[in-house]
């Protein structure tokens, strides 16, 4: 796991605000082992991992590692 950035450097002002007001972001996938959900900001593209009490931005490589089924599904949608 990569080191977490300070809150003000995670994502963008739009996605941080969504978390601050309790709206969150749409769920892309869930990981039962991690007790977490993967989300992504539509404004800046940042991936977020939402836990029970907090959310953090995660690098795309971590998102792919912890939520491989989502990325496999997306690759399937992009094939002609």
Angle at 69 between CA 66 and CA 72, to 5 degrees: 120
Q: How confident is the model at residue 48 (pLDDT cuts 50, 70, 90)?
A: very high
* pLDDT score of 4: 83
Mean pLDDT computed over every residue of the chain: 92
| Residue-level pLDDT at 22 | 93
Q: Beta strand pairing status for 55-58 and 47-50?
A: antiparallel
Average pLDDT over residues 9-19: 97
| Every domain of the chain and the residues it spans | 9-77
Whether the predicted pLDDT of 26 surpasses 90: yes
Res. 2: pLDDT tops 90? no
């Amino acid at each position: 796991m990569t080191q977490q950035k300070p809150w003000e450097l995670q994502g963008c002002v739009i996605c941080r605000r969504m978390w601050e007001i309790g709206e969150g972001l749409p769920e892309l996938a869930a990981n039962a082992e991690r007790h977490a959900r993967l989300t992504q900001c539509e404004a800046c593209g940042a991936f977020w991992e939402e836990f029970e009490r907090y959310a953090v931005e995660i690098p795309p490589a971590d998102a792919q590692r912890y939520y491989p089924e989502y990325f496999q599904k997306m690759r399937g949608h992009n094939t002609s």
